[in-house]
Amino acid sequence: MNDTLTLTPNITDADDFYADLLTAHEGLNKAESDAFNARLVLVLANHIGTRAVLSQALAAAAMKPE
C-alpha cells in the first residue's frame, strides 16, 4: 500500500475530468454545490482510505507554507 500522497499529475484525461466536475455543479445553488462537494470529498476519502495519505491531503489542501 502506498502511504504517500501523490502530488504529481495523476489524473487520466485531466481536462475531461475537470469539465465533468464543472458540469456536476451546473444548475446547483450555493448550498447544493456545497453539499455536492462535501459528498464528493467523503466518497474520495473513503476510496483512499489510508489515514496517513488523508492527513497529507488535508495538509496539502490547507496550502500552509512548511
Partner 1 sequence: MNKIFETPLYPYTRSPDQDAATPVRRKVVIIGAGPVGLAAAIDLAQQGIEAVILDENDKVSFGSRAICFAKRPLEILDRLGCGDPFVDKGVQWNVGKVFFDDRQVYDFNLLPEDGHKRPAFINLQQYYFEEYLVRRVFELQAEGAPIEIRGRNKVEAIGTHPDHVALEVDTPEGAYTLEADWLIACDGANSPTRRMLGLDFVGRVFEDNFLIADVIMEADFPTERWFWFDPPFNKGQSALLHKQPDNVWRIDLQLGWDIDKEREKRPENVIPRLREMLGNEVEFELEWVSIYTFQCRRMEDFRHGRVLFAGDAAHQVSPFGARGANSGLQDTDNLAWKLKLVLDGTAPETLLDSYNQERIYGADENILNSSRSTDFITPKSEMSRTLRDAVLDLSEHYEFARPLVNSGRLSVPCTYDGSSLNSADALDGPERTRPGSSCPDATLGDGYLLDQLGDRFVLLTIDADAPDSFNEDGIEVTRLALSVKDDPTLDLKRRYLGEADGAVYLIRPDQHVAARRPAFDEHHFRAALRRATGKE
Interacting residues toward partner 1 by CB under 8 A = 31, 34-35, 38-39, 41-43, 46
Q: What is the dihedral of CA 33, 38, 42, 43, to 10 degrees?
A: 0
Shortest distance (Å) from residue 50 CB to partner 1: 14
Radius of gyration in angstroms for the set of CA atoms belonging to the chain, rounded to a whole number: 14
Grid coordinates belonging to 63: 496550502
Least Å distance, CB 45 to partner 1, is 9
Nearer to partner 1, 2 or 46 (CB): 46
Judged by CB, which is closer to partner 1: 9, or 51? 51
Q: Are 47 and 38 in contact (CB under 8 A)?
A: no
